[in-house]
Structure 1
């Protein structure tokens, strides 16, 4: 298992599809906490760190793959321009979907735990620690990303098309008659 931290105050990652407060089941799978981590392609340092960690995890897990690296080995780093071409939040970015059966620690920039669930949401920015590990399940072989901990460093435009009640009704003249 290879552990890294990506994102900095100057070059944060962005969080999407954040299911970090309550675990969810996807298509009947085990309950898991998960998040999609969007990394700008311009953040060459984080991209290199991720690629190096994946490569190290591949080397560490050769035994799981039968002693050799399969041609169709799955890896977690994906290209947003290819795999999410219809989603502008993923434009000119890479992304990693990470999950865990254990709730991630979530802190603010001063390392204070974020208790209020509305404070961490899809669209905010920060840092994240991940582990990369090998898997070989039902003929699928690859490297997966395990979600460890999250640090929120900045707010961002919420993703997912949801607006706040304050925004929806701020200019509504009909509210009070």
Structure 2
């Protein structure tokens, strides 16, 4: 079964967490034979979810618009109602929710809080290029230069999935990450690196066409 996938696009500016996952692949789950995956966490201000600042297919759209398009492509217009009812797992995770906390202590991970949301990203195959972006050059970056707490943007996509135990959902693939500015380090490698991994598969290229973002407002409540 083919699953809907958006085109790749430039994300809004964000803060990077779990940066080590861009350099070292880890098992995507605790299941035997789980694939190794690269990935990271991108932290955004809450306004970035609905702000129409992304250039996508000749129009300015929001992150929520693109997710809505993937949902409609995969599950039809009724998919939007399923998403609002919580029956399709959202890629947008609250910065003060359970996923933003240390499992053992309950404390928020660095960079998290009620004023932000975050997206877990993954790359199933090759390591995503990680670069330092400037106006004059794009230079491959080292793990020391690109760390949890720095700022930049990702080349990302959203894709639909279904899992026998976890149901339906939308997740985020990452093609590359571009550092734009330094920031206060979030400490260590960003916490438990397996926190951002999910048992899902990116099923390939986007369909030739997807629906527009109509009805995206309040998509995930």
Cα-Cα RMSD: 2.4
Distance 1:149 1:74, change over 3 A: same
Q: Which has the higher contact order (CA 8 A, sep 6+)?
A: 2
Q: Which residue in 1 is equivalent to 2:151?
A: 125
More strand by share: 1
Aligned length: 155
TM-score (normalizing by structure 1): 0.77
What is the CA distance between 1:150 and its match in structure 2? 0.7
Q: Is the 1:39–1:93 contact (alpha carbons within 8 Å) kept by the matching residues of 2?
A: yes
Superposed displacement of residue 114, structure 1: 2.2
Q: TM-score, normalised by structure 2?
A: 0.63
Q: Using the alignment, how far apart are the partners of 1:122 and 1:138 within structure 2?
A: 33
Cα 1:21–1:87 change in 2 (3 A) is: closer
Q: Aligned pair 1:93/2:119, yes or no?
A: no
In the TM superposition, what is the alpha-carbon distance from 1:161 to its structure 2 partner? 4.7
C-alpha distance in 1 between matches for 2:144 and 2:24: 13
| Residue number among 30, 36, 40 corresponding to 2:35 in the alignment | 30
Listed as ranges, the gaps of 5+ residues in structure 2 are 55-60, 102-107, 190-221
8 Å CA contact retained: 2:133, 2:139: no
Which one has the largest radius of gyration?
1
Residue 181 of structure 2: aligned partner: 154
CA distance in 2, matches of 1:103, 1:88: 24
Find the residue that maps to 1:89 and give its secondary structure: coil
